């Protein structure tokens, strides 16, 4: 059994003294693990790589070979930006812990490729791309949010809240009497394009970012963690919390500078 594909390295861990287990999100074979023999020229998590997998039987762990990586990782400059590093690590960890083994997710694969490319630009839209990726991940496993119109009135304007049960947007008028039970919907989230072909380059207010992360966290904890509770151990990946804390630091700096 053998195939060739391209993939994004989600996770690597040592296996013995010289070998590693690599977990990739591949374009056509889904999340796939395999043994890599060797300890030199190891790819970095998040790298987009051409690879080969082979095993005697399809249900075996198998081995990676023919891994072709660039001499200089295109992710190198990301490691000098704390927020981007946290965002990349969080996205990779969420993907690795969420998806079932060997189920193809070609759409999510393309979203992840695009998100990582966004991280490598000087544009500030990378934070929007990250939030959009979390929404994409939820949608991919069947728990998509509908932020296009009010679930009660059908209106497409003045959307201000999200139902914590359904993930559908609600206007203030539509949620009258239940506002204390609804989740705030930051205005910038209504315009997020999941394809990220046209993403705003305006960095949102840190307070609105906090609301966005609280919104996606609710559904990630409710649905994603429940899909694979043993992997999450009742918690989302720690890098996601570090990213949220980084945003809180931005908010405090903004507050202090306005005093």
- The answer on pLDDT for 259 being more than 70 is no
Same domain for 90 and 141?
yes
Q: Is residue 162 part of a domain?
A: no
Final residue in a domain of this structure, among 68, 87, 110: 68
Per the model's pLDDT, the better-predicted residue between 199 and 158 turns out to be 158
Chain-centre distance for alpha carbon 25: 12
Question: What percent of the chain stands above pLDDT 90?
Answer: 51
CATH code, 95? 1.20.1440
Q: Is residue 208 part of a domain?
A: yes
Q: How confident is the model at residue 205 (pLDDT cuts 50, 70, 90)?
A: confident
Q: What is the mean pLDDT of the chain?
A: 86
Same domain for 63 and 80?
no
Q: How confident is the model at residue 223 (pLDDT cuts 50, 70, 90)?
A: confident
d(CA 187, CA 158): 9
Same domain for 46 and 89?
no
Same domain for 105 and 209?
yes
Half-sphere exposure of residue 185: CA atoms within 13 angstroms, side-chain side: 28
Residue 64, phi then psi, degrees to nearest 5: -90, 140
Q: Is residue 171 part of a domain?
A: no
Per the model's pLDDT, the better-predicted residue between 111 and 57 turns out to be 111
**How many independent structural domains does the chain possess?**
2
Distances (CA, A) of 187 to 34, 164, 190: 43, 17, 6
Same domain for 214 and 246?
yes
pLDDT digits (tens, 9 = 90+) for 22-48: 999 999 999 999 999 876 778 889 999
Q: Is residue 57 part of a domain?
A: yes
Final residue in a domain of this structure, among 12, 46, 68: 68
pLDDT number for residue 122: 81
Q: Is residue 218 part of a domain?
A: yes
Same domain for 82 and 199?
yes
Same domain for 143 and 121?
yes
Domain extent, residue 40, equals 2-68
Contact (CB, 8 A) for 158 and 151: no
Average pLDDT over every residue of 196-201: 51
Same domain for 233 and 194?
yes
Same domain for 198 and 247?
yes
- pTM for the model stands at 0.88
Q: Is residue 179 part of a domain?
A: no
């Amino acid at each position: 059994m053998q195939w060739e594909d391209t993939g994004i390295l989600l996770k690597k861990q040592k296996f013995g003294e010289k070998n590693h287990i690599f977990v990739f999100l591949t374009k056509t074979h889904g999340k796939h693990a395999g043994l890599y023999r060797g300890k030199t020229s190891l790819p970095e998590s998040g790298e987009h790589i051409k690879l080969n997998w082979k095993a005697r039987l399809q249900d075996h762990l198998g081995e990676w070979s023919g891994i072709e990586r660039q001499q200089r990782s295109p992710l190198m400059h990301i490691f000098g930006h704390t927020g981007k590093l946290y965002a990349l690590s969080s996205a990779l960890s969420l993907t690795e812990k969420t998806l079932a083994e060997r189920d193809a997710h070609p759409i999510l694969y393309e979203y992840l490729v695009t998100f990582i490319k966004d991280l490598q630009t000087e544009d500030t839209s990378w934070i929007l791309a990250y939030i959009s990726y979390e929404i994409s991940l939820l949608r991919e496993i069947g728990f998509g949010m509908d932020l296009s119109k009010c679930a009660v009135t059908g209106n497409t304007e003045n959307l201000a809240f999200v139902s914590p049960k359904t993930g559908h947007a609600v206007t203030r008028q539509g949620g009258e009497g239940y506002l204390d039970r609804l989740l705030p919907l930051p205005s910038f989230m209504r315009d997020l394009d999941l394809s990220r072909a046209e993403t705003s380059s305006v960095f949102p207010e840190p307070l609105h970012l906090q609301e966005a992360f609280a919104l996606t966290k609710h559904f990630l904890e409710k649905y994603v963690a429940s899909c694979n509770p043993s992997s999450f151990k009742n918690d989302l990946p720690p890098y996601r919390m570090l990213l949220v804390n980084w945003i809180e630091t931005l908010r405090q700096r903004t507050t202090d500078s306005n005093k």
